Structure 1
Amino acid sequence: MSLITKVDELFIQWDKPDSPGCALAVIQNGEIIYQRGYGMANLEYEITISLNSVFDIASNSKQFTAICIVLLARQNLLNLDDELQKYIPEIPQYNQPITIRHLLDHTSGLRDYLTLMFFAGMIFENKYSNEEIIALIARQQNLNFEPGTEQLYCNSGYILLAEIVRRVSGKSLRIFAQEHIFAPLGMKNTHFHDNFKEIVENRANGYAPKDGGGFQLDMSFHDFCGDGQLYTTIEDLLLWDRNFYHNILGGYGQDLIEEVTTPRKLNNGEVISGSFGLQIGDRGGLKTVSHGGSWTGYRSDFIRFPDCQFSVICLANLSTINPTKLAFQVADIYLENDYIEDIVKPISCSISSINLPVVELQLKTGFYYNSTTGSIWKLEIKNEKLMAKLAWMYFQLAPIDTKHFQSVDNEIDYDIEFSEDLTRMIVKVELANGITTSTLEKTLDSPNDLLTDYLGTYYSAELESEFQIILANNKLYFKSKGYSPSHLRIVGQDLFLIYPICADIYADKFEFVRDPEGRVVGLYRCSHRVRRLYFSKQ
């Protein structure tokens, strides 16, 4: 079987006229050695995906924001070790200073604005300006951690970097990037999309699955950018890839590329996984420089193997596609003989499953919570099958035996084993760097007593927003503007999870606070990227 045939087989499920799909490019020594469009850029007008289709590449945009900052530093208009407040004084002073470098490294400790927006009931489809988002970040009186002590992915940092570009250069991120990156490299179809009403020629629409089958539009309707919102094409990203090996930006040569790909460290000397909008890793013993993107109906990944001058770019316009997995699989096909270490073998999938009675499957249904990562799974029965809901994914779990199940037709492979008492499930998942194992605990329903303790209105001055906890059918519900009421499920003493949650893999957790007399006076709301945000009971 030829290399091309092997690659095409990876994308066959989307390569049809009634499905969104992917644009793929395989690059060797600065030239495309294989490129294909699989599926449709626009289902309404039956436009296929091509080399020139324009995609929102979501968080892959961060590397371009970072380069703008580095260019300003090279022009001596700022220093990467300057404190953030030098340029954005409305951000409060914390116990330890936050520097521009902390923003680039995701080590600032700032709360992530996307989670803050969700907590505040700010609908993502509405139009918000960069100024409104910065004001939201500036109202936060506490950090997730002291700057430089941890690395936690933070979109807030890159929104602030975009604002620093504007205040230092006097030009928007869009204009500065156009003048200093896109125009010099000839990237004619690339821009930061800071006006959601703007018409974009050759745009690939973003899509998500629709209940009952088919697809629906899933696109961004806001103007703020820096952490995302870069629109580009495979053809333009080829030019960006060439510059990685022969930099011409600012006339600084390859030392600029070396700066943004040199591993960074935490305060304790621990090396972090990446900075400057790039992730440094390895595959088969070869160094990789990559980054992914995920927002609304768009997914992307751009993976380089610099020692081989080999890259794979995968841009998708469907929310259920996993371009990271696909891009690595394409790389494995081409680089099989170049790898110097064995690739971790994927989770083996049984070729046959057994039939279990629905009553047996029913025992496994419910909610399962990972206290380490904050992820939450919902298992339910649909059409006499055990189905799993995890973030944007919805897939079948096929029984291998009464306690052992495997995912079916999902972009991520899961192997699941239930404990004898069915209170826990052990999940194995194949990631880019190998197989990880985690244990999830089954949650309980609302407690049968003391429900009235929690009822009331809760307010956060940092969000300038409030919500209510109400009682319905002897269960607790969370009610906030912009969202349907959500059930509070107990996972510990005065500790609850919200479900359903935002389309995010991490749980939304409430930790209630009582006074010395035992009365509930407030709560801390916690998620993966926002830790312990306080709401007082009114």
Structure 2
Amino acid sequence: MNPHFNRRRFRLPTSAPLGAFVAALVAAFVAAGEISAQAAELQRGRTVPGSLASGDTTRYTIDADEGTFLLGAVNQLSVDVNIRVLGPDGAQLALFGGLGKGAERFAGRTAAAGTHTVEVFAAPRDGEDRGGAGGQFEIALLRHEPVATDPARLTDQIMSRFDGPASPGAAVRAWRDGRTLFSQSYGMANLAYGIPFEEDTRTNIGSTSKQFTAFAIMLQAERGLLSLDDDIRKHIPELPKFDQTIRVRHLITHTSGLREFLNLLRMTGRRTDHGDWIDRRELIEIVQRQPALQNLPGAEYNYNNTAFGLAAVIVERTSGRDFHVFMQENVFGPLGMTGTMVRPSTRHIIPHMSEGYTPGPDGYRQIGDLGGAVGAGSIYTTIADLQTWVENYANPRVGTRESIDEMMTSFVLSDGEETGYGYGLSVDEQGGLKRVSHGGADVAHRSMLVYFPEINAGLTAQSNHAQFNSGVAYELAAAFFKDDLKEEEAPTADAGEFDPATYDAEDFDEFVGRYAVDVAPDFILTFTREGDTFHTQATGQQRLEIVPTSDSTFRLLAVEASVTFLRGEDGEVEGLTMHQNGDNHATRLEGEEAEAWAPDADELADFAGRFFSEEVETFYDIVLEDGELALHHRRLDRATLTPGEEDHFSGGSFSFLFERDRNGQVIGFYLSNGRTRDVRFARVP
């Protein structure tokens, strides 16, 4: 994939309300405390008792060859732990945590031979920057074996972290030319009742549902009941008349310019992570209150759940049937997808479903589904039915070849740029083949569906574990279809192994500076050097160490992410790409922009006050506390506001651009949150 991204072509990952990169940097990394005595060697099948005092770290070693698969577990008897795995060079390979009670599993594959280290330390409690309370635990190495070359065995290794009677589960299925190559489930669908995750378990596939909504739109177009060029107000006349016309095709290509409702409702204090109710009818009300579009329709890609919710309404208006009924009668039934259904609301019963779970301090928590997600999500299905669905792409029994091909064609923006997204489907390449895919995430469910039309092969991976990385489907697809996929080039400067010890630290000086993330320009990445050590720091976050992997690529130690610095035609560094479950471009700041704004306490006091937004009917209090600004809202956690550019702040996953009158007095601010931008708050007198 080309690392040079145009700002308008940047796509937030489809599986989450916020970009995975931003979420990774927002998550604080806690340094381990004091190291306990001599490190003990872990041996497969042997359980080792351990204990931790607050702030301590216990270390264990594992001798492993390159290409070894390791699986271990820490049974948290009376202490909540985090687990960090280090390579032979001491670099962090992975960090595990979040589950406060029971067995916390850790897994990984070695990239080099030698002694690997597993560090166990007490997880911090809220408000702490060091380890939490100590206690007792047990640690065991469950598997120590070569990384499998057989794709079925490799799948079992990768899924083993989500297997067993105490873990939320997963399921994987691969097929080609109508023949199932692999189908297996792991772990549990319901922990409360001890129900295993099975191949016919119905699972919430989140945004993977979007292709079904787009398909329904195409069916109605085939029947002459709508046109993709229709003004959406033709079918939903109660929507406001904006200065520009939103057409039906803009809804299913994420180019409408509408607010994204999940991000918008977060601004109001609505907490989907706490199970807050969202009604489908709110989507229309949200659009009715939007004063102007965020972009010209068809001019910018901005992933948008609101748009697909409205697309489902259009299907209902043109068919006279509720969306879940329409899909059953016109898609699922005719295709024989007996395990698939749309969940009209979070209160509707889905037989034989998997519950979604997220790790919490007192064990796994059952946290339900997103409300108001019909059209954007809300489909429960099985891995077998998803194979049936994709086989209809290859040999249409419902819908036409022309419609399906159009869905799988990248949309072209008004300036001629391609978005890499068709109608409800991502369109790109893997290993030299065209790849059509879509990921999904509800509150805890995770999903990925991958299809290679040129070889008529596909794979799907589903889970009800919030920590499941659905992007593993791409790796598994490469294993199952390796004879047809070209090997991807390694992201290093040369073909040989790079030795970080050979990197001249002074060469990093050309990368030192500040870089604005294109999708959120107020979110700044600052790169610095201290002797032979290199760091990056994101706006409002702590500083993280990075290590070179080539002369222009670096790996973050605290999170699974890397950076590629980019040069212009003149050879000067002009930006970078951050790789973390997607590629995120940032532009280098020059001149005055390159200097950080550092307001003093008197200047910060200008921004303190109470602010109200008519659009979202919400008050925010911004208070000067201990020399820093803090955001207060009765349903949001307190957040420190960190200065960026002048009059710009960030905090609590929000970006603030303050507005002044002609006398320089602060009169309000514009609030942005990823896919929702520039919601105005006015100062309350």
Could you say which TM-score interval applies, normalised by the shorter chain?
0.7 to 0.9
Which moves more between the two structures, 456-465 or 285-294?
A: 456-465
Equivalent position SS for 2:346: coil
1:314-353 equivalences under 5 Å are: 314-324=461-471, 326-339=472-485, 341-345=486-490
Is 1:238 aligned to 2:383, yes or no?
A: no
Residue of structure 2 equivalent to 1:146: 296
Equivalent position SS for 1:303: strand
1:9–1:465 Cα change, 3 Å: same
Residue of structure 2 equivalent to 1:362: none
One of 361, 371, 384 as aligned partner of 1:222: 371
1:522–1:287 Cα change, 3 Å: same
Query: How many angstroms apart in 2 are the aligned matches of 1:187 and 1:481?
Result: 45
One of 454, 457, 463 as aligned partner of 1:307: 454
Query: How many angstroms apart in 2 are the aligned matches of 1:443 and 1:319?
Result: 36
1:369–1:175 Cα change, 3 Å: farther
Residue of structure 1 equivalent to 2:625: 472
Which moves more between the two structures, 266-275 or 71-80?
A: 266-275
Task: Judge conservation of contact 1:445–1:489 (CA < 8 Å) in 2.
Answer: no
Residue of structure 2 equivalent to 1:358: none
Question: CA-to-partner distance for each residue in 1:317-363, whole Å, 9 max, x for gaps?
Answer: 12222112x11111111222212x44132679x99999xxxxxxxxx
1:221–1:270 Cα change, 3 Å: closer
1:111–1:408 Cα change, 3 Å: same
Question: CA-to-partner distance for each residue in 1:123-162, whole Å, 9 max, x for gaps?
Answer: 3322232112220122101111111111111111101111
Question: CA-to-partner distance for each residue in 1:373-426, whole Å, 9 max, x for gaps?
Answer: 3368999xxxxxx99999xxx9x978789xx9745696x443699xxxxxxx97
Is 1:80 aligned to 2:228, yes or no?
A: yes
1:200–1:312 Cα change, 3 Å: same
1:96–1:287 Cα change, 3 Å: same
Q: Which runs of 5+ in 1 are unaligned?
A: 355-367, 380-385, 418-424, 502-507
* Structure-1-length-normalised TM-score: 0.83
Residue of structure 2 equivalent to 1:17: 165
Query: How many angstroms apart in 2 are the aligned matches of 1:115 and 1:442?
Result: 30
What displacement does 1:115 show? 1.2
Residue of structure 2 equivalent to 1:360: none
Query: How many angstroms apart in 1 are the aligned matches of 2:671 and 2:317?
Result: 33
Query: How many angstroms apart in 2 are the aligned matches of 1:426 and 1:87?
Result: 43
Residue of structure 1 equivalent to 2:440: 293
Query: How many angstroms apart in 2 are the aligned matches of 1:115 and 1:194?
Result: 21
Task: Judge conservation of contact 1:347–1:429 (CA < 8 Å) in 2.
Answer: no
What displacement does 1:170 show? 1.8
Equivalent position SS for 2:404: helix
Equivalent position SS for 1:275: coil
Query: How many angstroms apart in 2 are the aligned matches of 1:409 and 1:297?
Result: 23
Equivalent position SS for 1:11: helix
What displacement does 1:215 show? 2.7
1:442–1:71 Cα change, 3 Å: farther
What displacement does 1:273 show? 1.1
Task: Judge conservation of contact 2:168–2:189 (CA < 8 Å) in 1.
Answer: yes
Query: How many angstroms apart in 2 are the aligned matches of 1:262 and 1:351?
Result: 39
Residue of structure 2 equivalent to 1:171: 321
1:13-52 equivalences under 5 Å are: 13-52=161-200
Residue of structure 2 equivalent to 1:511: 657
Equivalent position SS for 1:142: coil
Residue of structure 2 equivalent to 1:129: 279
1:36–1:266 Cα change, 3 Å: same
Query: How many angstroms apart in 2 are the aligned matches of 1:88 and 1:485?
Result: 39
Equivalent position SS for 1:12: helix
1:5–1:489 Cα change, 3 Å: same
Query: How many angstroms apart in 2 are the aligned matches of 1:389 and 1:8?
Result: 37
Query: How many angstroms apart in 1 are the aligned matches of 2:537 and 2:265?
Result: 23
After TM superposition, the runs of 4+ consecutive aligned structure 1 residues lying more than 6 A away are 350-354, 376-379, 386-390, 396-401, 434-446
One of 416, 427, 452 as aligned partner of 1:269: 416
* Structure-2-length-normalised TM-score: 0.66
Equivalent position SS for 1:196: coil
- What count of residue pairs does the alignment treat as equivalent? 496
Q: Which amino acid aligns with 2:665?
A: R
Q: Which amino acid aligns with 1:102?
A: H
Which one has the largest radius of gyration?
2
Residue of structure 1 equivalent to 2:568: none
What displacement does 1:191 show? 1.3
Residue of structure 2 equivalent to 1:105: 253
1:432-451 equivalences under 5 Å are: 447-451=600-604
Is 1:487 aligned to 2:633, yes or no?
A: no
Q: Which amino acid aligns with 2:396?
A: N
Q: Which amino acid aligns with 2:391?
A: R
1:435–1:512 Cα change, 3 Å: closer
What displacement does 1:427 show? 7.1
Query: How many angstroms apart in 2 are the aligned matches of 1:336 and 1:269?
Result: 34
Task: Judge conservation of contact 1:73–1:80 (CA < 8 Å) in 2.
Answer: yes
1:414–1:38 Cα change, 3 Å: farther
What displacement does 1:89 show? 2.0
Query: How many angstroms apart in 1 are the aligned matches of 2:588 and 2:156?
Result: 36
RMSD of aligned Cα (Å):
3.6
- Percent of pairs identical after alignment? 30
Residue of structure 2 equivalent to 1:383: none
Query: How many angstroms apart in 1 are the aligned matches of 2:387 and 2:499?
Result: 43
Task: Judge conservation of contact 2:278–2:370 (CA < 8 Å) in 1.
Answer: no
Q: Which runs of 5+ in 2 are unaligned?
A: 1-148, 502-513, 528-533, 566-574
Query: How many angstroms apart in 2 are the aligned matches of 1:44 and 1:407?
Result: 38
Task: Judge conservation of contact 1:247–1:256 (CA < 8 Å) in 2.
Answer: no
Q: Which amino acid aligns with 1:344?
A: E
Question: CA-to-partner distance for each residue in 1:51-96, whole Å, 9 max, x for gaps?
Answer: 1111111111111111111111111111110101111222222222
